[in-house]
Amino acid sequence: MSNRTNAANKAGAVRRSGRPAPGPAAGADGAPFTHRQIMTVLVGLLLGMFLASLDQTIVSSSIYTIANDLNGLSLQAWATTAYLVTSTVSTPLYGKLSDIFGRRPLYLTAITIFLAGSIYAGSVHSMGELAVARGIQGLGAGGLMALGLAIIGDIVPLKDRGKYQGYFMSVFGVSSVLGPVVGGFFAGSGEILGITGWRWVFLVNIPIALAALAVVWIFLHLPAKHVRQKIDYYGAAAITLALVPLLIVAEQGRIWGWTSFESFLCYGLGVAGIVLFLLAEKRAGDSALIPLRFFRIPAFGISALLNFIIGIGMFGAIAMIPMYLQLVKGLTPTEAGLLMITFTVGILIGSISSGQAISRTGIYRIFPILGTFVLAVSSLAMGLSLGVDTSLLVPGGVTVAFGLGLGFCMQPLTLSMQMAVPPKDMGVGTSTAAFFRSMGGTVGTAVFISMLFANAADKIGSAMTAAAKDPAYLAVLKDPAVAKDPANAKLFDFFKNGANQDSLNDTSWLHHANETLTRPIREGFAESIDIVMLTAAVLVAAAFAISFLLPKGRLVDSREMPAALPE
């Protein structure tokens, strides 16, 4: 009787969680993967995740040097945009195709494409070539971001899956933050082994990618798989039409102007693509790229929405905090990147501890609730505390908390989406989580940076007007020695032109100009960053409220279920 009661309790837990979790796949010989085999494969998968997430941010601190060397400063944004567009668009494609053809061949293909793109990027001779090479890298990165988590879902039982997937979230956070530091180091080096320093931004990927390729090729062996199913070509074409123009306008809108002809053209194409995608997915049914019926599953739909909002918050914070450290506190890009390591400490603690707890208890809902609460409080603290005279201990401590909140959210939400779909669609579930998080990151970075510079012009103008009434400030301003100092030349040009979007495009002189005279400018930036973070706090607070809609219950492995359990 007790066995039947336990079975019934497990069945109830499964129903509350939405659906039984899929059991792990056996190896090619039919035997389950041992812990040693899993750890060996995990190394290769983590290297792939490290590559893909590192290259999202590594170019940001080196692109100015690269563009100058390649004589294409006006085209520099396309090197970032090309990677972003191709990686985001390809993510759901990899998820669906891996459900049809198997994870291993798709993952090996993704690494190979990324490796080819890295070799090409390290040998380019123009910015146009670099944009193409970055696009090729992105095509590979889309698979590396999505398939690693799906493979772990295949080979690891549910009771241990949260622990292993927590490592992925830690690597994702660490590499995203280390990217600007590594990029800045290589860009600042003249030559390394006879090769121009900035080229190592891309060439450093080669040994890591080869190691990942070798590990996965040798040690990951899954049963051959080919599901007889139509490939949703129309859905793939429609989502490409929807995302490419929207991602481009997100990156270029501040330069073009949000109401320019180019922006409205992108808006129109994006909306048309979304409508066509919905029609294509409805027509394709179960063979759809992202079956629309999944969004009727509460755990899937709510987790997708939370991933999108959290992506906005994560990449918004990754963009804003270095801005504050460099523009307001005067740190170099390398120093700002090193201070951002505190961010990765929080992610490590949050993702690993939540993964361990989910592995022991099967309870996951509490972590997104707790995580979004911590994110909201951290964003609010940033918005209220970051000023010109704020100690560096404050942003250091707040970023630890921000990383902790992200660690609590990202891994459990991915696990939630995996569990919400049938085992045969785990690739779709995993890639959709990465897809929505990437989309949120694109929106967050574009909107927050635009908001920052839109507010900065007004705030700096107000601060300079107030400073002009201060006798001490005027005394420094009228000092002949200050006016003749070459370090202040661009500062006085800024005074002459006034604070506007164009004059704020290059602020490198802030680090060298007179500290007293630049204080109003730094105050204006600090106030603008505060506004952005307070906006983020409101957004994440909405995510906190939404997180309570996640289904209650425990995730239960289907292998623990009795063979004949009544519905």
Give residues with Cβ within 8 angstroms of 84, minimum separation 6.
56, 138, 247, 251, 438, 442
The residue-averaged pLDDT of 322-336 equals 79
Q: In 10 A of CB 262, how many CB atoms?
A: 15
pLDDT of 176 above 60: yes
- Return the beta strands (E) in 166-220 as ranges: 191-192, 195-196
pLDDT on residue 499: 61
The pair of structure tokens assigned to 425 is 């669609």
By C-alpha distance, which of 344, 411, 400, 408 is closest to 179? 344
CA pseudo-torsion sign 295, 301, 305, 310: negative
pLDDT digits (tens, 9 = 90+) for 350-395: 888 888 888 788 788 899 999 999 999 999 998 898 888 888 888 8
Q: Which helix (H) or strand (E) holds 293?
A: none
Secondary structure (DSSP) of 521-552: HHHHHHHHHHHHHHHHHHHHHHHHHHHTTSPP
Average pLDDT, the chain: 80
pLDDT digits (tens, 9 = 90+) for 283-323: 887 778 888 888 888 888 999 999 998 888 777 777 788 78
By C-alpha distance, which of 155, 279, 289, 166 is closest to 223? 155
Q: In 10 A of CB 296, how many CB atoms?
A: 9
**Residue 304 identity:** A
By C-alpha distance, which of 450, 465, 533 is closest to 499? 465
DSSP 191: E
Rama region for 275: left / alpha / beta (φ>0; ψ in -120 to 50; rest): alpha
Would you mind telling me the total number of residues written for the chain in this entry?
567
**Residue 24 identity:** P
Hunting for tokens 């990147």 — which residue is that? 337
pLDDT of 503 above 60: no
Residues 348 and 175: beta-carbon distance below 8 Å:
no
pLDDT of 457 above 90: no
pLDDT of 20 above 50: no
CATH 1.20.1250.20 is right for the domain spanning 22-228:
yes
With pLDDT > 90 as the criterion, what percentage of the chain qualifies?
Answer: 12
Domain boundaries, the chain: 22-228, 233-288, 457-532
